Structures are given as C-alpha cells and as structure tokens.
C-alpha cells in the first residue's frame, strides 16, 4: 500500500519539477525561431524577385516613353514651309517624321494596359512593408517564447527539473543588431 502512494507522490513531484514542461517550452522556442527564419527566407526570396519585376516593367515603360519623346522631338523638328509644298523630298521627310510619331503613339496606346510600373512600385512597397511586419511579429513571438522558457527554468518547481534533468540554460532573445540575414536588403532601382 505504501508503494503505490510513494509512486504516485514521486510521479506528482517529477511532474511538478518540469519533466514535461521544460522540454515543451524548449520546443516552443525552437519552433518559434524556425518561424522567424522562415520569414527571413521569405524576404530573401521575395524581395529580389519583386525588385527585378519592377525594374523590368519600368525599363519597358521607359523605352516606350523615350521612343515617344524622341519621335515627338523628331516630328517637331521637321518642318515644311509653304514654299516646300511642291518638294517631294521635304514632304516625304515630314511624312516620315509624323509617321514615326504616330507609330510610337500607337505602341504607347497598345502597351498602355500593360504599363503598370507605378502599380508595381506600390505593390513592391506593400510587399516590403508586409514582409517586415511579418518578421517583426515572428521575432516578437520568439521573444515571448524565450521569456516563457526562461521564466519556467528559473522558477520553482520547474527550476529543479530543468537543472537536474536537462541542464537547461536561458535562451537568448532576438537582438535587432544581429548581422546577416536579419539585415533588411537594400532596395536599389539603379542599373
């Protein structure tokens, strides 16, 4: 009769000493750190692709708008005076310049539904903000998990089991000055 009571008392004592709660808290910290790393990876994968997309759209738009501007300048430079109305070469030059502008404007009109660099920039900025917010949230959750773990291994009764059975040491919370992947990438639209 004494053995079952002693076994039950021992089981309760061990359960109250962090036998299960310390590893559970440790795994929560590790899982949350994995979530932080996941968001950093998302940022590392997403941002360069978004920037490249925006650059590509911007380059296409720049090319079309440059073409229109050049065609307009060319068309405005070619003039036909009333005295040249009977000169086939002057009329051909004038018509060629005007046709060039017309073609450029048609290309602009055809591409207009596709011209979205402003929208792409807005999307990029939104994605940048959303990504940084996700990282911030996950870092906050990680720090909360670290705090819960550190509190658990330092308070009675879990502190007993944490030291005796696991040799538990406090986890380190996230620090914003950590170099490497934790540094937001530079967004550069230059060549």
Among 19, 61, 57, 41, which residue's Cα sits nearest to residue 164? 19
11 token code pair? 């089981």
Burial of 84 (C-beta count, 10 Å sphere; 0-12/13-18/19+): middle
CB 51 within 8 A of CB 185: no
The H or E element spanning position 87 is: none
Residue 130 has pLDDT above 60, yes or no: yes
pLDDT for the residue 96: 76
- Whether the CB-CB separation of 135 and 43 falls below 8 Å is answered with yes
pLDDT at 108: 61
- 57-61 own/partner pairs: CB under 8 Å, 24+ apart: 57/115, 57/116, 57/117, 57/120, 58/117, 58/120, 58/189, 60/111, 60/114, 60/115, 61/111, 61/115, 61/117
- Give yes or no for residue 189 having a pLDDT over 80: no
pLDDT at 87 over 80: no
Residue 2 above 70 pLDDT? yes
CA angle (106 as vertex; 101, 108 as ends), nearest 5 = 95
pLDDT of 7 reads 66
Question: The pTM is what?
Answer: 0.56
Please state, rounded to an integer, the average pLDDT across all residues of the chain.
74
Where does the pLDDT of residue 82 fall: very low under 50, low under 70, confident under 90, or very high at 90 and above? confident
Element (H, E) at 114: none
Mean pLDDT lowest among 16-30, 58-72, 140-154, 161-175: 58-72
């Amino acid at each position: 009769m004494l053995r079952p009571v002693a076994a039950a008392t021992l089981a309760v004592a061990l359960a109250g000493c962090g036998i299960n709660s310390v590893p559970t808290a440790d795994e929560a910290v590790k899982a949350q750190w994995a979530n932080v790393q996941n968001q950093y990876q998302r940022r590392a994968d997403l941002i360069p692709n978004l920037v490249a997309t925006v650059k590509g759209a911007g380059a296409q738009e720049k090319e079309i708008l440059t073409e229109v501007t050049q065609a307009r300048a060319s068309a405005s430079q070619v003039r036909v005076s009333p005295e040249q109305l009977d000169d086939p070469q002057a009329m051909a030059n004038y018509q060629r310049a005007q046709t060039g502008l017309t073609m450029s404007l048609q290309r602009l009109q055809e591409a207009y539904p596709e011209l979205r660099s402003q929208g792409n920039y807005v999307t990029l900025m939104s994605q940048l903000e959303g990504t940084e917010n996700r990282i911030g949230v996950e870092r906050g959750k990680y720090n909360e998990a670290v705090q819960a773990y550190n509190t658990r291994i330092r308070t009675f009764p879990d502190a007993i089991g944490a030291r005796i059975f696991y040799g538990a040491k406090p986890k380190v919370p996230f620090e914003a000055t950590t170099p490497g992947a934790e540094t937001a990438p530079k967004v550069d639209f230059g060549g």
